[in-house]
Structure 1
């Protein structure tokens, strides 16, 4: 059921996903993220804001911190999944895999290898601090417009 908290969560987390994608862009090779990274980050943010954080709004600001931290972890995992999937597609177009199972298993190896590139304190602060801030605003909207 659409609520004001879900709408606010979707908008805030979508904007936060856009900001975080722009902040992470210099950490890619040659400063160029995959083409799908920016739209995927916005869609992931919209989804997390609507389905996860917006649904949990109205339970208090302590619960909003937990929802924000969880959304930050989920955003980080799904962003790495998008990066690894796009690299797997590129590798499969160059015939690097013997079959489908090799390509799928390589996604997780690529996620691990790509995660070492994004170990910057500013990214972590933006990831979790921004998620908690967006969750607090979503909680405020959820309490104000029940």
Structure 2
């Protein structure tokens, strides 16, 4: 059921995904081709906001902040998973893996590498501020436009 909280959470996480995506780009090797990287992450932000944060809104300020932290964390996990899977498929098409099991384990290795690349102070600050603002705005939307 569409609600104002779901819409607000989706918009907020899409914006957080946009900012985080643009912060990650300079950290990657120069030869990286990003293609639809930012748009895909924004789509994941919309989905995470709609399905993870939106239904959990309306429980108070502290729970709203926790909801924001959960939403942004889920966004990052989904983003790492999707981007790592895409990279694995790209490498698999170049016959880099011997069998399917090696390709599947590569998803986790690539995701861990990307996660380590993202462990910087600016991204951590964006994570926290984005989570705080997203959680509070989602709570506000739930209370205001019930």
Same fold at TM > 0.5: yes
Contact 1:84–1:111 (8 Å) recurs in 2: yes
Runs of 4+ in 1 over 4 A off after TM superposition: none
Q: CA deviation at 1:62?
A: 0.6
Map 1:1-146; keep pairs closer than 5 Å: 1-30=1-30, 32=32, 34-146=34-146
Q: CA deviation at 1:37?
A: 2.0
Q: CA deviation at 1:3?
A: 0.8
> For the residues of structure 2 that align with 1:32 and 1:114, how far apart are their CA atoms?
12
Q: CA deviation at 1:31?
A: 7.4
> For the residues of structure 1 that align with 2:9 and 2:73, how far apart are their CA atoms?
16
- Aligned residues: CA RMSD: 1.5
> For the residues of structure 2 that align with 1:60 and 1:94, how far apart are their CA atoms?
51
User: Unaligned 5+ residue runs, structure 1?
Assistant: none
Q: CA deviation at 1:32?
A: 4.2
Q: CA deviation at 1:76?
A: 1.7
TM-score by length of 2: 0.91
Aligned length in residues = 146
User: Unaligned 5+ residue runs, structure 2?
Assistant: none
Q: CA deviation at 1:33?
A: 5.4
> For the residues of structure 2 that align with 1:87 and 1:5, how far apart are their CA atoms?
34
